[in-house]
Amino acid sequence: MQYYREGGEEAMRSIVRCFKPYINEHMVKRYKWYVEKIFETGILTGGEYTEKAEKELSRLTGMKYVVLTNSCTSALEIIASYYRAKGYDTAYIQALGFGSTYLVFKKLGYRIRFIDVHETAYFIDPDKIPNRDEKAVVVVTDLFGYSYPELNKELDEKGIPVIRDSAQALGVAWNNNDYAVSFHAIKIVTSGEGGAVFTNNEELYMYAEAARELGIIGRRHMTYGGSYMMSELEAALLLVQLDYFDYIKNRLRENVERYDKLIPTMYDNILEDKGIKYRHNGIQAVLITENRDQWSIRGQLLDHYGIQTYGTSAKDLANEPIVAGEDRTETPIAEKKYREHVILPNYVELSDIEIQYVSEAVKQILANKKLPRSEWVPWK
Ligand SMILES: Cc1ncc(COP(=O)(O)O)c(C=O)c1O
């Protein structure tokens, strides 16, 4: 099958992007209206839009408390510092994750232990978490918009608090945990940069409110903290985006289902496991292939086809250069899974023809039939 792109030479050189925030005309209008209000009052931070967005997120997720921050990494740091102040000094970190989790816990002086992931699932394996007396927290990363709630029951029995890096999983993270979400531009809804702490624990909520503003309560520095506020301009954009949360989620899910029909090795199949129940928001189209490296030239592009991918978004943390040599834990499954996954383009406005084009490219690569760049044809 041949695919043609509109727009001649120019379009031929363009790429199919991996992510693209959804911003429609109505959103732009509404956002401008918010911005005018913000400029009228002159309250650029810590104002009514921050509060409104927090309330809306609480309503959407069923979590009692939400504290907006300038990134998911800051939100994770706040949660990690709360537990550190309570005497927790060891972090069992899911070995397949994202740099934020390692960096934040390291910075706070936790002893780091990477825990390998499950044989078939992309989650920390509860059987590999030691039964020791250490004051430890478990750090789970909800990759690809998937969450694995059953894990909690097992850890509850061990009495270990779970902190979730749910950067990619707004709307699915399990209700009993403290977690952080990202509103970075490549996430399901965005404020440009941004994040939030979600908790049902009033004490952590109070702590987080102070910690995002240098730990100041009243006029005194009372706790650990940073300069981690989200601005009103970002909060207003987030509010606009949250109106479309369900729409965006459904569209992304539909795209994933379209891919699923065209490339049978996709998605739900690969995360399925005996008895493990997942929840997901279906935001990422994930392809699993033996050797991911053959897919990308210079790391991030299916170059011959002009398709952008982020195959490296989940890291094999124990083998990242900054970590290497520090933690001797062997995490072979995480290492293998890191090499297996490719994240394919998915965003609201991705067209059917683009999905077909990507799927066709995937099939050709699987069949080892790489088309050189010069053979690209414009499509319409
Ligand atoms: C799993 C995970 N954790 C943490 C982050 C960091 O988010 P932020 O850029 O908001 O700090 C990301 C961002 O891509 C992520 O995917």
For position 177, which CATH number holds?
Answer: 3.40.640.10
| Range of the structural domain that residue 181 is part of | 25-242
Residue 217 domain-assigned? yes
Quick one: which of 137, 191, 205, 192 has its CA closest to 165? 137
Residue 221: strand, helix, or coil: strand
Q: Is the pTM of this model over 0.95?
A: no
Q: What is the pLDDT of residue 276?
A: 63
Q: Is the CB of 255 under 6 A from ligand 1?
A: no
Residue 1 domain-assigned? no
Task: Kindly list the averaged pLDDT for each block of 10 residues, start to end, along the chain of length 380.
Answer: 44 71 97 98 96 97 96 98 96 93 94 90 86 86 83 78 92 84 94 97 97 92 94 98 96 90 64 64 78 54 70 80 74 89 89 89 73 44
* CA 55 – CA 176 distance, rounded (Å): 18
Three-state SS sequence of 197-246 = EEECCHHHHHHHHHHCECCEECCEECCCCCECCCEHHHHHHHHHHHCCHH
From the CA of 141, give the closest atom in ligand 1: 1
Domain shared by 70 and 158, yes or no: yes
CA 370 to centroid of ligand 1, rounded, Å: 33
Over residues 10-20, the pLDDT tens digits come to 444 457 888 89
CA 195 to centroid of ligand 1, rounded, Å: 9
Q: What is the pLDDT of residue 279?
A: 75
Nearest CA to ligand 1 atom 8: 72
**Number of domains the chain contains:** 2
Q: Which residues contact 83 (CB under 8 A, 6 or more apart)?
A: 137, 161, 163
Residue 285 domain-assigned? yes
Question: Ligand 1, from 98, 146, 147: best to mutate by most atoms within 8 Å of Cβ?
Answer: 98
Residue 380 domain-assigned? no
| Tokens found for residue 153 | 């029951």
Nearest CA to ligand 1 atom 12: 167
Residue 3 domain-assigned? no
* CA 24 – CA 18 distance, rounded (Å): 19
Domain shared by 155 and 303, yes or no: no
Q: What letter does residue 144 receive in the DSSP assignment? A: G
Q: Is the CB of 100 under 6 A from ligand 1?
A: yes
Last residue of a domain, one of 187, 215, 242: 242
Give the N- to C-terminal CA distance of the chain in Å, as an integer: 13
Beta bridge partners of 244: none
Q: Is the CB of 73 under 6 A from ligand 1?
A: yes
Last residue of a domain, one of 209, 242, 275: 242
Last residue of a domain, one of 242, 258, 276: 242
Phi, psi of 363 (to 5 degrees): -65, -40
What DSSP line would sit under 165-206, residue for residue? E-TT-TTTS-TTSEEEEE-BTTSSS--BS-EEEEES-HHHHH
CATH number at residue 358: 3.90.1150.10
Domain shared by 146 and 132, yes or no: yes
Kindly give the pairing relationship between strand 162-165 and strand 136-141.
parallel
Domain shared by 78 and 104, yes or no: yes
Q: What is the pLDDT of residue 184?
A: 95
Q: What letter does residue 70 receive in the DSSP assignment? A: S
Residue 30, exposed/middle/buried by CB under 10 A (0-12, 13-18, 19+)?
Answer: middle
Q: What is the pLDDT of residue 112?
A: 92
Residue 264 domain-assigned? yes
Q: Is the CB of 195 under 6 A from ligand 1?
A: yes
